[in-house]
Each structure stands twice: as C-alpha cells, then as structure tokens.
Chains A and B, each alone.
Chain A
C-alpha cells in the first residue's frame, strides 16, 4: 500500500489480486446480488485507490479495506431498500434476533434436500440477520479480530462480540441439522 501511495501502479494490482476474492465474497453474501456486488466492489476499490494517502500503516490494511467495504455495503442496502433495518448504532445484538423472516430457519433445513452441501452452508450464512452476517463475514473473509470487527462496523466491542456469538450459535445449530 505504501508503494502504491508513492505512485507504484504495479503495487496496486498486486494488492487488488491478493484481496479481490475475499472482498467480493463479503459483498456478494451481504448484498445477495451479483450485479450489486460488482457495483459496490468497484466503489470500494476506487475508494482505496483514491484514498491511499489517508491510509496509515498503524492500521492493518485488511481492517481498513473491510471497513470501507462494510460502509459501502451498508450504503448500497440503504439505497436499495430504505425500509430495511440496518441500525449500526444498536447496542445489543439480541434485539436483532427477530429480524429474519419466519421461514429463515426452515430454509436451511430445506437445504437437507440440496445435494450440494456447500451451497447449503452458504445459504445458511446468507439467512443470518444483516448485522450478524456482516460481523461473521468480516471474520470469515477479512480474518478480522472481534475488536477489528467492532472498528469496521462502527460498534462497541461488546456489540460486535454479541453479534458474532449469535451468528456462530445459529450456524452451529443449522450445521448440526444439516449433518
């Protein structure tokens, strides 16, 4: 990143190739829309290219990158579905447990009939409530710690921890049912 900030175009390409898949998967799972994910992907990397001067080496690059990705993703969801609840200032992850639709739990169960178990796992992740899904994916794709997830999502450490805990608990239950 420092090389790119000094004007090395090849360094940007290396950086992009290294993180391309992880950022795209994060956006695809959260937005659940291929075209939308491509649009936001472009916005994220444009922001990286234009904001390289603002990047400080004290922060981990992936934390910075996924913070941008998370913000752009939230903007895209809000622009697309203004009525959808995506309250980043919620202090507790528990209140969000009621957010998924009534058939949210049954959908992963139906995945038992899906031959491709991998697709069922992805489906289960996509069924998580928005904030829990974002927190889970920031850890799974961005490899961020709990503290870094809190920074990226603009929440407290405790909130990030709660969201991760609930996401893991749900996935664990669903995976057991899948097994």
Chain B
C-alpha cells in the first residue's frame, strides 16, 4: 500500500464503464422472456402460498418458531431493561434526580424534629406533607410512629433519634418522588448521564453501515467513541470510506476522528480511499492531516 494514488485507478473504471455502455450488450429476447415468465410464475405461486398457510389450523400462529423467538426476545429485553433501570430509579443518592424532582422532594419531606416529642402523632406527619401522595403520607406517618415507639423503648439521645427519623424520611421521600416521577425521573437520569449511552458505539457502526448521516451526527454529538474497532477490525472512519460516504467521512473528521488511525488489517483511511478510488474522500482526508 505504499503506492501513491493514481487518477488512473478511477480512470480505468470510468473508461471501462463508458466503453461497456457504448457496446450496449444485452441478453437475447428469448432469455429475457423466459426470465420474466419465471418471475411471474413464482410471484403467482407466492400469492397462493399464504392462503394455504392460513388454512392450516393444526398449528396456531403463536406456536410458529418466529413468534416463539420474538416472545423470548421481548421477555429477555424487558428483563434487561428492568435490571438497568430499577437500581437507578431507587438509588438512595439524589445525584441523578432532575431539578423538578428536587423541588417535589423538598416539598414532600418535613423538617427533621428537634426532639422525639416534636415528631407528634401520625396526623401531624400527614399535615406536614400535604402535596405528597397518600401512600407516601401514611408511610411517613408510620415512620414517625415507629420512631416514637423506638424512643420510648430505648433511651437514646434526642439528636440520634432525630437523625434516624430524618434519614428514614429522606430515603422514603426519594423513593416515592422517584416512583411518582416515573418516566420523567428516568428521562432525567438518562439525559444527565455524562458518559455515552451504553451501546452507542455499536449504534454508531449501525448508523454508518446504514448510511444514516442524521443518526451518525446525533451519536457523535452525544460523544460516541470514534476510535473503537468493529468486529471486522475497522474504525468508523474506515467503514465510512469503504462505504464511499463522503458526507459521513466529513462528519467523523469534524468530530475528531483520527485520519491516520489504522484498522486491524493495518490500513489507514487514506489507503482505503485509494482502494475505493475516491479522489474526493482522499482529498478530504489529506486536508484533515492524513498522510
């Protein structure tokens, strides 16, 4: 791959294509007719096939293997999503809560009582949290009641009891606020996450392979890694060059993709561009510092 790019590479293609078109080679009429007749025959057969399938009542649709696979996949996906989401939603730390959740939490949590006596009866707890859901209010009342019983049974200091009540109420409030916030809280957690979303690298490959420039740009804006290698050992930039997508190459370079990064086979994007015979991509890479 030390050989320099020669415009002759592209010229060979162009001259061949022009000559080939000029020649105007085409299959014979009989070949064409036979092919088209076969196409019509197979299409007609396919039209009949689904009707016959529908009459097969011995094997319900739900028992077909593709539905079984689909169901198993959906259950697995739901389980995975639950495992990922539940620990974050019920996390005691309020690191991921949104500003609106903070406000609702402050409204829901009563100030910690200075002494166990100030905790008061359960009705007082309900009055202190008028905006909290009913279940949360009764939960808080139970917490205050438990604290009162605890104080009577064990002679601890007022400060310790107060701290216990405060922590307990705080944790309960965080969980309740998170649960009540539902999708909004989850959205806050996801949007506030400083690291790229899990799977964003794989998504980047998928977007480049599909030639989807809008999705590629979105993922790059979210911080998708431009240095990783795909299962075939190619960098995102190499893949974009192989796909001959000048727009994606420009996007990747603008988002800091290394124009000299070698893929697993040892080729640089510049060498890939030479192989593909794309002078415009080659120029773009050289302008970005590829050598």
A residues at B contact (CB < 8 Å): 4-9, 11-13, 16, 20-21, 24-25, 28-29, 37-38, 41-42, 45-46, 49-50, 52, 117-119, 121-122, 125, 136, 139-141, 145-147, 157-158, 161, 164-165, 168-169, 171-172, 175-176
Contacts and interface: CB of A to CB of B under 8 A. Distances in A.
B44 A25 contact: no
Nearest to A27: B27
Interface of B is mostly: helix
Given A38-B31, A168-B9, A122 B23 contact: yes
A175 B25 contact: no
Contact of A172 (B6, B40, B44, B232): B6
Interface of B: 3, 6, 8-9, 11-13, 15-20, 22-23, 25-28, 31-32, 34-36, 38-44, 46-47, 49-50, 232, 242-244, 265, 275-277
Given A12-B39, A118-B23, A146 B8 contact: no
B135 to A, nearest CB: 48
A38 B16 CA distance: 21
B242 A145 contact: yes
A65 B36 CA distance: 16
24 contacts: A7-B43, A7-B44, A7-B46, A9-B43, A9-B44, A12-B40, A12-B42, A16-B36, A20-B26, A25-B20, A38-B28, A41-B35, A42-B35, A49-B38, A119-B19, A122-B16, A122-B20, A140-B17, A145-B276, A171-B16, A172-B8, A172-B12, A175-B11, A176-B8
B16 A125 contact: yes
A24 to B, nearest CB: 5
A24 B25 contact: yes
